[in-house]
Amino acid sequence: MGTQALKYNQNSLNGEIVVPGDKSISHRSVMFGAIAEGQTTVTGFLLGEDCLSTVSCFRQLGIEIELDKDKLLIHGKGFKGLKEPNEVLNVGNSGTTIRLLMGILAGRPFHSTLIGDESIGKRPMTRVTNPLSQMGARIDGRQNGEYTPLSIRGGETKGITYHPPVASAQVKSSILLAGLQAEGTTTVIEPEKSRDHTERMIRQFGGKVEEDGLRVSVIGGQTLKGTTIHVPGDISSAAFFLVAGAIVPNSCITLKNVGLNPTRTGIIDVMQEMGADLTIDVKSEDPNVEPVGDITIKTSNLKGTTIGGDIIPRLIDEIPIIALLATQAQGETVIQDAHELKVKETNRIDTVVNELSKLGAKISATEDGMIIQSSGTLSGGTVSSHGDHRIGMMLAIAALLSDQEVFLEDKEAISVSYPQFFEHLNQLLINE
Ligand code: S3P
């Protein structure tokens, strides 16, 4: 476990960076490439640890995947080409890998066991194992299928209509992936709209999916065809520099090639509402593919706001960095309706509140979120990512607001989604 000493004397960030590939889309590109027939080429793939876990699981399932820098060549074999793995499938820290993979395995007539790291071992799985069992898969795991290790024997499944109790793209995608192999129609009706990368990717691979508001349906027995996927930059990674640009004095940052899927852009809406000086240059808006653009952010005068309701799934991963943003806004910011934060890589209500408090932020936890007051300059101290990539990056950005040294423990977690994070941060500091 490494500790990084962070001390930024030169208080300004300038220049442009090309944001690394979107994690959600990178995972799905491997999975769809594997279950489609024929070759799939992926460019802009995220070489983060989570996505590499997906690659290694599909290799164990018999899929040949060639990796050359951020380019992938996947030799898809169709659902029926997946083979029973000889060894346990290890998803590392990745919730997306385990939950979506379970959906794929639900329709495969063989046995697999899935494990992950300590954090995965605490994350709820009945949200996928229950509906997949209803479809006909045989699944078991610790505490009645709630926690890893999970074992699954898939096979013939039947379509269901499912109302997940929470808006979760991982749950929706898992059921849709099972539905593509099931008899009849599978429908998911969400309480709020979650990210729709799976729906878009089904179409990109030549499949059919019907969407009507919060209702999404697929018919089973579809054959998908290999294709080319260009992964846009991850808005959830861009978010750290969007916030840094807004709160660090005399800054101007352009983030190139950022994915602008409307199911992911809640942070832009919130920053604009708070008064951020932000401009967006949209480059492509093809409704069947993923929209992309460049975002420029300048140091801004911010005011507090209330964030809750159906915007939450559109910014769920950005809440740690939004909490830091709120410490630099005038007045109070309330984040509510965000219970889901408790079951992310860490309990992100606790980790955000505890770690930011150590740096002098005025922040308190509530049952479903947090309340943040304008906190001014932060102090130094020793903080930890607790093995959570987004907490680690948020704390590194927080260190830019401190005139004393910040020691960040367990910095390695950052490589889960943004291995070049410190390189990009240093690049923006030098450009002043
Ligand atoms: C993801 C969906 C979100 C998000 C996660 C990635 C995905 O989780 O927090 O980082 O790729 O589908 P939920 O769908 O469980 O909210």
Q: Kindly report the CATH number assigned to the domain that includes residue 277.
A: 3.65.10.10
Tell me: the pLDDT tens digits for 28-82?
Answer: 999 999 999 999 999 999 999 999 999 999 999 999 999 999 999 999 999 999 9
pLDDT (tens digit per residue) in 376-418: 999 999 999 999 999 999 999 999 999 899 999 999 999 999 9
- Residue 173 Cα: closest atom of ligand 1: 12
Name residue 6's beta-bridge partners: 406
| Claim to verify: residue 306 and residue 364 sit in the same structural domain | yes
**Cβ–Cβ < 8 Å for 311, 291:** no
Are 194 and 304 in a shared domain? no
The percent of residues above 70 in pLDDT, for the chain, comes to 99
Determine if ligand 1 sits within 6 Å of the CB of residue 192.
Answer: no
**What pLDDT does 431 receive?**
64
Ligand 1 pocket test target in 46, 120, 195 with most atoms within 8 Å of CB? 195
Task: Report CA 116 to chain centroid distance, whole Å.
Answer: 17
Q: Are 321 and 335 in contact (CB under 8 A)?
A: no
**Phi and psi at residue 415, to the nearest 5°:** -70, -5
Q: Are residues 196 and 252 in the same domain?
A: no
**243 and 198, same domain (yes or no):** no
Q: What pLDDT band is residue 432 in, cutting at 50, 70 and 90? A: low
207 token code pair: 């499949």
Q: Are residues 212 and 314 in the same domain?
A: no
d(CA 401, CA 420): 21
141-170: string of b/e by CB count within 10 Å (b at 16+)?
beeebbbbebbbbbeebebbebebebbbbb
Interacting residues of 199 by C-beta distance below 8 A, sequence separation 6+:
176, 209, 211, 216
Taking the C-alpha atoms of residue 207 and residue 270, their distance in angstroms, rounded to an integer, is 34
- What are the tokens at 379? 């102090």
CB of 170 sitting under 6 A from ligand 1: yes
What is the structure's pLDDT at 359? 97
pLDDT at 285 over 80: no
Same domain, 114 and 246: no
Q: Could you give the maximum distance between any two Cα atoms of the chain, in Å?
A: 62
**Residues of the domain holding 317:** 3-21+232-430
Strand order from edge to edge, sheet including 71-77: 64-68, 71-77, 37-43, 228-230
Which of 198, 230, 262 corresponds to the end of one domain? 230
Span 212-237, pLDDT tens digits? 999 999 999 999 999 999 999 999 99
In this predicted model, what pLDDT tens digit does every residue of 81-114 receive, in sequence order?
Answer: 999 999 999 999 999 999 999 999 999 999 999 9
Residue 28 CA, closest ligand 1 atom number: 11
pLDDT-derived band at 2 (thresholds 50, 70, 90) equals: confident
Same domain, 219 and 265: no
pLDDT of 8 reads 86
Coil, strand or helix at 235: helix
Q: Which of 72, 114, 123 is nearest to 91 (CA)?
A: 114
CA distances from 344 to 124, 315, 412, 418 (A): 9, 13, 18, 17
Domains held by the chain: number: 2
| Residue 168 Cα to ligand 1 middle (Å) | 6
Distance 96 CA to ligand 1 centre (A): 6
Active site residues: 317
Query: Residue 372 has what pLDDT?
Result: 98
Per-residue pLDDT tens over the stretch 130-150: 999 999 999 999 999 999 999
- The answer to whether the beta carbons of residues 249 and 258 sit under 8 Å apart is no
Q: Decide: 340 in ligand 1 pocket, CB within 6 A.
A: yes
Looking at every residue in the chain, the average pLDDT score rounds to 97
Locate tokens 């069947």: which residue?
288
Q: Is the CB of 198 under 6 A from ligand 1?
A: no
**Same domain? 186 vs 69:** yes
191-200, 390-399, 423-432: range with lowest mean pLDDT: 423-432
Mean pLDDT, residues 238-248 taken together: 98
| Tokens 């093809």 sit on residue | 286
Q: What is the pLDDT of residue 430?
A: 79
Do 77 and 160 have their domain in common? yes
pLDDT band at 324; cut points 50, 70, 90: very high
Question: What pLDDT does 284 receive?
Answer: 82
Q: What is the pLDDT of residue 227?
A: 98
State if residue 194 touches ligand 1 by the CB under 6 angstroms criterion: yes
Query: Which residue from 30, 128, 168, 261 has its CB within 8 A of the most atoms of ligand 1, so it is best to mutate?
Result: 168
pLDDT digits (tens, 9 = 90+) for 342-386: 999 999 999 999 999 999 999 999 999 999 999 999 999 999 999
pLDDT higher than threshold 90 for residue 10: no
Share of residues in the chain with pLDDT > 90 (%): 96
Judge if pTM exceeds 0.95: yes
| CA nearest to 123, candidates 115, 112, 111, 135 | 115
Question: Do 133 and 96 share a structural domain?
Answer: yes
Task: Tell whether 255 and 192 lie within a shared domain.
Answer: no
Q: Are residues 164 and 237 in the same domain?
A: no
